[in-house]
Amino acid sequence: AATKLASAEKLMYFCTDQLGLEQDFEQKQMPDGKLPVDGFLLCVDVSRGMNRNFDEQLKFVSNLYNQLAKTKKPVVVVLTKCDEGVERYIRDAHAFALGKKNLQVVETSARSNVNVELAFGTLVQLVDKSRGKAKIIPYFEALKQQSQQIAAAKDKYEWLVSRIVKSHHEAWPNVSRKMQPAPEYQDYVYLEGTQKAKKLFLQHVQRLKQEHIERRRKLYLALLPQALDALVPDLDEIDRLSRAKAEKLLEAKPDFHKWFVVLEETPWDATSHVDSADTERIPLDLLETPAAEQLYEAHLEKLRNERKRAEMRRAFRENLESSPFVTPGKPWEEARSFIMNEDFYQWLEESVYMDIYGKHQKQLIDKAKEDFQELLLEYSELFYELELDAKPSKEKMGVIQEVLGEEQRFKALQKLQAERDALILKHIHFVYHPTKETCPSCAACVDARVEQLLGSRFARPAERQHRNAPADANVDRINLVILGKDGLARELANEIRALCTNDDKYVIEGKMYELALRPIEGNVRLPVNAFQTPTFQPHGCLCLYNSKESLSYVVESIEKSREAAPGRRDGHPAQLPLTLVLVNKRGGCGGGGE
C-alpha cells in the first residue's frame, strides 16, 4: 500500500516479449529511479483455484483494501480470470465492492485481453477528474465485442498473408519483415500478439504445402491407369495376384523405371520428393495408399469387363453364324428379335452389335454373290442364244429366273433382287465380251494375274540387246509370232498391219513401236514355219484358236517347237510370253492366258 516507490535504474516493461530480449527493444527507465503511486488496482481472482478458499481470499482482499483506503488514493477492484470465473465468486466480489462506498468493479481476462485497458482507464479517470468517465462493460459483453474485433482483424491478417505468401518454402522472419508496415499485420499483432500471428502464418504455409502435395498426388494418380495399361495389360497375368505380388511383378517389367521411381525414404509426401522436379514417374510407395488400390482394382475390373465384352462380341458373331434367320440382305430390324438376348444388351451398346451385324451381312452377301456367279457359270447354256450387245428381253430374263429359281444359290439373294439382276446382266456381258475388265473375278482374274506374272519375269523389248536394233533410238522393235491354223494367223496379221503406219510402226500410249510379224499356220518343225530364224528373234507369241482342233494345233506346235530347240534358251517358246486368244465366231477376239 506504499505510495512512493524507489528502485535505481529500474527498467519499464511494456510487453512480455521484452523479457530476456531487453536489448532488442527501446529501453525506458523509471524517472530518477523513483515512482509516486497515484492509485491502486485491487485484483480478485474469481476462478476456481486448487487448494484455495475464495472466502479466505476475499477476507485478505478486504484487509488489503482497509490499508489502501488510508492512502486516500483512488482504488478500482479488478476481477481477474473471468474466462474461468465462478458465478458465486463474481457475485460475492461485487457485493464486497458495493459495501465499500461503491467501489468501481471491472471484470477482466488477461488471457483473452478483455477489459484490461478498461481497468487502467477507469483508474486514470479517478486520478484525473478532468478526463471523461469510462463506461464499464460487463465481461461477457466485452468478450463478444473483443471476439468480433479479433475475428475481423484475423480475416484481414489472413488475407494479407495469403496475398504475400504464395510458396510453402517461405520463412517467418522474412515474411514478418515484409508485413510489418501493413495495418492488417499491426492490428492483429496488437490484439493477439506476435506468436499467434506466426501461428497463423505457419498454418497458411502448411496449407500451401498440403495443396502442393495434393496436386502432386492427383498428377501421380492420373498417370497410374496409364502405367498399369502399359505394364500389365493382360488379365491372366494379374487376375489372382495379391497386391504385394502384383507390385513385384511391376518391378520386374522392362519399362518399370519409365513409369515408377523407388525412393529410399517413404512415404513420398513426407520427404523432399514433394519438391522434386520428377513429376513424370510415380513413387512406388503410392501404390500402398487407398486411392491407388482403388485404381488398381478399377484396372482389374476394366480388364475383366473388356474380356466379358469380347466374349459377348464373339458369342454374338457365333449366334449370327449359326442362326437360320440371318440371311443375305436381311435388315437389322428384322433380325434383331431372333438373335439378341438380355446378356447382349447388358454388356454392349446396340450400335456395337449393329456394326458386327453389318460386317457379317457384308460377308454373307459377298459369299452369296460368289456362289451365284458360280451358278451362272454352271448354267452357261442359258446365255448362248442371246443377241450380241443386246439387253435381254423381259421374257428371256423370266426364262432365266424360272430355270434358276429352284436353286438355293438363287434364293439366297431373294432380298437383293436388284443386285441379283445386275449380276445376271454383268454375266451376259462377260459371256460375249470375255476380257479382264468384264471378268466377274475382277482383280483375281486369271488373265490379269498372268499379265502381272509375265511382266515381272520378262524384260520389255527395249531392254533387250538384240541384233535387229532399229535405226531410230526412240523406236522399240517388237517381233511377234502369230500362231493359228486355217487362216487365223494371216487374218490377224493383216488386221494388225492395217492399224500400222506405212513403215510398219505402231503407236501405243504415245510410244512408237516397230512391228515385225511372223504368222505361222503349218508344221513348226519345217524351217519355213520355225518360230526363230537367223533374222527373226521373237519377243512374244499370239496363239489363236476358235475350235478344239485349232486349240490342239496350238498346243502341239508349241510342244514341237520346244522339242526342236532343246539347246537354245533365248527366243524359244519356253521363254516367250505367250497369249492365248479365243477368236469369236462372229469375227471378234477374246483374250485368254496360259
Neighbours of 489 (CB within 10 A): 22
Give the pLDDT of residue 572: 52
In a domain, 287, yes or no: yes
pLDDT value for 159: 96
Tell me the β-bridge partners of 282.
Answer: 260
Q: Please choose, from the candidates 415, 386, 418, 412, the residue with its C-alpha nearest in 3D space to the C-alpha of residue 399.
A: 386
Q: Cα(515)–Cα(509) distance, rounded to whole angstroms?
A: 15
Q: Are residues 223 and 132 in the same domain?
A: no
In a domain? residue 369 = yes
Domain count of the fold of the chain:
4
398 in any annotated domain? yes
The whole-number pLDDT of residue 568 equals 53
Q: Indicate if 344 and 449 belong to the same structural domain.
A: yes
Beta-carbon-side half-sphere exposure of residue 148 (alpha carbons within 13 Å):
5
Question: What DSSP designation does 111 have?
Answer: T
Instruction: Report the pLDDT value the prediction gives residue 13, as an integer from 0 to 100.
Output: 63
At 173 the pLDDT is: 94
**Confidence (pLDDT) at 449:** 77
User: How many Cβ atoms are within 10 Å of 488's Cβ, its own excluded?
Assistant: 25
Is residue 575 one of the residues assigned to a domain? no
397 and 430, same domain (yes or no): yes
Helix (H) or strand (E) holding 57: helix 54-69
Phi first, then psi: what are they for 6, rounded to 5°?
-145, 135
- Among 137, 152, 177, give the residue marking a domain's end: 137
What H or E segment, with its residue span, contains residue 364? helix 350-378
Domain-located, residue 388: yes
Domain boundary pick from 249, 279, 305: 305
How deeply is 444 buried, as exposed, middle or buried, from its count of CB atoms within 10 A (0-12, 13-18, 19+)? exposed
Q: What CA–CA distance (Å, rounded) separates 35 from 434? A: 134
Which residue, 456, 488, 509, sits at the end of a domain?
456
pLDDT in tens, the chain (594 residues): 888 888 777 776 666 666 777 777 777 777 777 788 999 999 999 999 888 899 999 999 999 999 999 999 999 999 999 999 999 999 999 999 998 877 899 999 998 889 999 999 999 999 998 877 778 899 999 999 989 999 999 999 999 999 999 999 999 999 999 999 999 999 999 888 899 999 999 999 999 999 999 999 999 999 999 999 999 999 999 988 888 899 999 999 999 999 999 999 989 999 999 998 888 899 999 999 999 999 999 999 999 999 998 988 898 888 888 888 888 999 988 888 877 776 777 788 888 889 999 999 999 999 999 998 889 888 877 777 666 555 777 787 888 888 888 889 998 888 888 998 888 888 888 877 777 777 777 777 777 777 777 666 554 544 444 444 444 445 578 889 999 998 999 999 888 888 887 777 887 767 788 888 999 998 888 888 888 888 888 988 999 998 889 999 999 999 888 877 665 554 455 578 888 998 876 444 444 443
Three-class SS state of 544: strand
Residue 493 sits in the same domain as residue 395:
no
**In a domain? residue 251:** yes
Asked, for residue 174, whether it belongs to a domain, the answer is no
Q: For 534-576, what is each residue's pLDDT tens digit?
A: 888 898 899 999 888 999 999 999 988 887 766 555 445 557 8
Task: Please check whether residue 464 lies inside any domain of the structure.
Answer: no
The reply to whether 336 and 438 lie within a common domain is yes
Does residue 31 have a cis peptide bond before it, meaning omega lies within 30 degrees of 0? no
Amino acid at 1: A
**CA–centroid distance for 128 within its chain:** 80
Place of cell 474461468: 84
Residue 448 sits in the same domain as residue 484: no
Q: Which domain holds residue 515?
A: 475-561
Q: Which residues contact 42 (CB under 8 A, 6 or more apart)?
A: 61, 64, 65, 68, 75, 76, 77, 78, 103
> Which amino acid type is present at position 238?
I
Cα–Cα distance, 157 to 183 (Å, whole number): 9
Looking up cell 520463412 gives 171
State residue 404's pLDDT score. 86
